[in-house]
Amino acid sequence: MKEPLAWLGNRLRLLDQTRLPNEEVYLELTDYQDVAEAIKALRVRGAPAIGVAAGYAVSLWALAASSQDVLSFKKELDGVLAVLAATRPTARNLFQVIERLREVGDGLSSVDAFKEKLVQEAAAIHLEQHEADRTLADYGAALLGAGASVLTHCNTGPLATAGCGTALGIIIRAFEEDKIKLVYATETRPLGQGARLTAWELMQAGAPFKLITDSMAGYVMSTRRVDAVIVGADRIAQNGDTANKIGTYTLAVLAHEHGIPFYVAAPTTTIDRGASTGSDITIEERNEDEVTHCHGIRLAPAGTEALNPSFDVTPARLITAIITEQGVIKTPCL
């Protein structure tokens, strides 16, 4: 498994996911603003991995910070956290990390102790993500029977969590347990996280898969055996409504129509106690160029206006269960 993120003591090594699968380019970042740019540009992406990267961004800032008193250090920290918060609005894990780091200094009276605590906390967040992913994979793989064919969307493997993945982590675990016959991976327009990243990770795992365009999902569910659809989550509301990569809602409707179990896999850090339902979730809107162009090449005529919501919300009633590291939650009853 290739590490998408690694803390090197005074710099962050990051696998640039925008260059995959054709090039494996590692960036070494020393400035928190470069990490913020990397999150915005999807060099690191997937809600949990964004949270982990944000933790290390704060470490980079803290190591270089010159403030001598705790009050001004804390004020500067708030500014850094605000820059990170402005990168990807839907990814709950990012905000969970921000809230956690904001509280880290409570009760500390020295800047050095504050810095040390921030650096330790970032490493702890990364480690906890690894642990949550491993446990979640156990719970999820246990839901699949032998010879399962599963369909997944976007990319939810190690690249997306900096651990062993959520939905794709479950699928890879089930494959290692000899349970997987075939994985259908959706291309995931507009940016192709399925085609570029999930296909890359499944290939590395040696798991059998077929890539499909997003619009083939109905055909596949109606003509082939699909035992489960398993996707990740960017933010889960208290009632179980789930925001995930655009196209997830369509898959949930199709799965419902075809009587196929629809599972969401996410660590509990993706659950937003401040969102009662999906309508409380902010959906990130990205640049129209991502839809009108592909890898910089224009697809649509110049002047075409496009929509580009990065996520949609699947209502809890279409979700069979949410798989977390704390167990499997049957919806809608979070």
Q: For residue 152, state whether it binds ligand MRU (rule: CB under 6 A).
A: no
For residue 207, give every residue at least 6 positions away whose Cβ sits within 8 Å of its Cβ, in sequence order, or none: 171, 172, 175, 180, 183
One residue of 140, 232, 240, 247 binding ligand MRU per CB under 6 A: 232
Joined tokens for residue 334? 């979070």
Q: Which is nearer to ligand MRU, 105 or 240 (CB)?
A: 240
The Cβ-side half-sphere exposure at 113, using a 13 Å CA radius, reads 9
Residue 153 exposed, middle or buried by CB count within 10 Å (0-12, 13-18, 19+): buried
> What is the spatial distance between Cα 35 and Cα 72, in angstroms, rounded to a whole number?
23
Q: For residue 233, state whether it binds ligand MRU (rule: CB under 6 A).
A: yes
Q: For residue 192, state whether it binds ligand MRU (rule: CB under 6 A).
A: no
Q: Which is nearer to ligand MRU, 70 or 294 (CB)?
A: 294
Q: For residue 47, state whether it binds ligand MRU (rule: CB under 6 A).
A: yes
Contact 232, 167 (CB under 8 A): yes
Q: For residue 59, state whether it binds ligand MRU (rule: CB under 6 A).
A: no
User: For strand 293-294 and strand 321-324, is the pairing parallel, antiparallel, or unpaired?
Assistant: unpaired
Minimum distance of ligand MRU from residue 270's CB (angstroms):
7
The one catalytic residue among 234, 241, 272, 312:
234
Stretch that binds ligand MRU, among 44-52, 61-69, 122-130, 249-257 (CB under 6 A): 44-52
Joined tokens for residue 217? 């999902």
Minimum distance of ligand MRU from residue 89's CB (angstroms):
11
One residue of 96, 129, 152, 166 binding ligand MRU per CB under 6 A: 166
Q: Which of 281, 275, 278, 284 is nearest to 318 (CA)?
A: 278
Q: For residue 269, state whether it binds ligand MRU (rule: CB under 6 A).
A: no
Q: Which residues within the stretch 7-26 sit at the binding site for ligand MRU (CB under 6 A)?
A: none
One residue of 154, 230, 291, 319 binding ligand MRU per CB under 6 A: 154
Minimum distance of ligand MRU from residue 323's CB (angstroms):
12
One residue of 59, 129, 193, 269 binding ligand MRU per CB under 6 A: 193
Q: Which long-range contacts (CB under 8 A, 24 or more apart) does 214-223 make?
A: 214/153, 214/186, 214/187, 214/188, 214/189, 214/247, 214/250, 216/186, 217/151, 217/184, 217/186, 217/250, 217/251, 217/254, 218/254, 220/151, 220/184, 221/151, 221/254, 221/255, 221/257, 221/258, 221/260, 222/258
Minimum distance of ligand MRU from residue 296's CB (angstroms):
18
Residue 271 DSSP SS3: strand
Q: For residue 129, state whether it binds ligand MRU (rule: CB under 6 A).
A: no
Across-strand partners of 117? none
Q: For residue 310, state whether it binds ligand MRU (rule: CB under 6 A).
A: yes
78 catalytic per annotation: no
Q: For residue 46, state whether it binds ligand MRU (rule: CB under 6 A).
A: yes
Q: In the complex, which residues of this chain contact ligand MRU (CB under 6 A)?
A: 42, 45-48, 154, 156, 160-161, 166, 193, 232-234, 244-245, 310
**Mind telling me the catalytic residues?**
234
